[in-house]
Every structure is written in structure tokens, then in C-alpha cells.
């Protein structure tokens, strides 16, 4: 963390958007999946949306080598998930997350989180991450300024989902709103690229069918 803050000029973009369709879809499916032993969390959908956004904008899945001053693009998308454990923060990652469906991501996420908490996580499961997600919404927080995991180039923070008034077809209704914070390495990624990444990410989470069909 200290190294990251010392050498990476962070810039953070924040936004919030309506995910009511996703909330309704998950509520319709979670009980039947629970009977099959699958815990369907919002994070599984978020991971899938992140992988699709990373495929659209590969610079966010790269790293920067300070010694050679080269940008290193990664062939695999290994999504790290920050997990709060009794021993402190750990970041295991789901290997080749872009090749996996939502139910597989949900199962792997639950397995890695439990292994991190009971200290059975392996070194391989902790290494070679390419992009990180941190979920401070799990602790009732709305916004934060996440620290990039060096030598990655970006990290996305997920806040708590809240019911808020939103405008739909010029009418005020109550919707489920998700706040996010995207921190990027400003040496490599500028605000316009970060904005485009967020727009793509929002596009997928607003319509869960896009995630299922991708």
C-alpha cells in the first residue's frame, strides 16, 4: 500500500446508477439457487461486468513496469477480490474470470473468500492478479478512494446499494442505486478513458440479461 501511494498518482472517478433490474433479477433467482448450494451475491454480477469491461478496454487490465517504463498487457483477466479476514485484508483472485459464467464466479468467490478467512488460501490463489475489486459496501459505506494494488493500473470500489428517488421517463420513482469509485494510475490512464470504462460497466449492470448472454 505504501509503495502504491508513493509512486502511483491516483485519480478517482465516482458515480452512482440505477440497478433495479439487477436487484429484481437476483431476488427472483437467489432462493432456487440456494437450494442447489449456490449463494448468488451481487458481487458475482459485478465481477462479470468488470471482465466484460476489461475486454472492451484492455489498458485497465495491464500493469506498468517502472524499470523498463513499459506498459505490460495481460493475456488473462485475473480478478482480485479484497477480503476482510481476522488477520487483515487479503486479495485472492479468480483466474481467467472472463471465461466463466456468473454461477461459476459465485461459487469460486465464496470458496476463495472462505479460504482467505480460514487461512487455507494458497500462494497461487493470491498471485498474478490483474485488476482488483474492493467492496466497502459490505460494511455499510457508500463511497471511498481505493488504493491501487501495485503494479496494477486500476481498482474499483463498490459501495452499499441504497433505495433512492430516481427519474424514469420524467417521473420520480424509488430505485436501487449502486455507488462506485474507480481509481486509476494517472500516468497511464486519463479521465476520459476512466469515464468510458465506467459507462461500459454501468451498461452491463443495468441490464442483467447482457451479462447472461455474454
Annotated catalytic residue: which of 10, 75, 150, 186? 186
Residues in the chain, overall count:
214
Q: Which residues have C-beta within 8 Å of that of residue 84, sequence separation ≥ 6?
A: 138, 139
- What's the CA gap between 46 and 205, in Å, rounded? 7
What backbone phi and psi angles, to 5 degrees, belong to 170? 65, 15
Cell matching residue 177: 442505486
Quote the crossing angle between the two packed helices 102-117 and 42-56, to the nearest 10°: 110
Contact 44, 105 (CB under 8 A): yes
Residue that is written with C-alpha cell 440456494 in the block:
34
Contact 29, 40 (CB under 8 A): yes
Q: Is residue 72 classed as helix, strand or coil in its secondary structure?
A: strand
Is position 186 annotated as part of the catalytic site? yes
- What's the CA gap between 143 and 146, in Å, rounded? 9
Contact 130, 97 (CB under 8 A): no
Residues identified as active-site = 186
Amino acid at each position: 500500500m505504501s509503495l502504491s501511494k508513493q509512486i502511483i498518482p491516483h485519480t478517482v472517478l465516482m458515480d452512482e446508477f440505477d440497478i433495479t433490474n439487477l436487484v429484481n433479477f437476483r431476488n427472483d433467482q437467489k432462493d432456487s439457487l440456494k437450494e442447489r448450494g449456490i449463494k448468488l451475491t451481487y458481487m458475482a454480477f459485478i465481477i462479470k461486468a468488470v471482465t466484460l469491461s476489461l475486454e472492451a478496454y484492455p489498458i485497465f487490465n495491464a500493469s506498468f513496469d517502472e524499470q523498463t517504463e513499459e506498459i505490460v498487457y495481460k493475456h488473462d483477466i485475473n480478478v482480485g477480490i479484497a477480503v476482510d479476514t481476522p488477520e487483515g485484508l487479503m486479495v485472492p483472485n479468480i483466474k481467467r474470470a472472463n471465461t466463466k459464467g456468473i454461477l461459476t464466479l459465485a461459487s469460486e468467490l465464496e470458496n476463495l473468500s472462505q479460504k482467505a478467512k480460514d487461512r487455507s488460501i494458497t500462494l497461487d490463489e493470491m498471485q498474478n492478479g490483474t485488476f482488483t475489486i474492493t467492496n466497502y459496501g459490505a460494511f455499510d459505506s457508500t463511497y471511498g478512494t481505493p488504493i491501487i494494488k501495485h503494479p496494477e493500473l486500476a481498482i474499483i470500489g463498490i459501495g452499499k446499494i441504497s433505495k433512492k428517488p430516481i427519474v424514469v421517463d420524467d417521473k420520480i420513482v424509488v430505485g436501487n442505486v449502486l455507488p462506485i469509485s474507480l481509481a486509476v494510475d494517472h500516468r497511464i490512464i486519463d479521465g476520459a478513458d476512466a469515464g468510458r470504462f465506467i459507462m461500459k460497466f454501468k451498461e452491463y449492470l443495468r441490464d442483467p440479461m447482457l451479462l447472461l448472454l455474454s
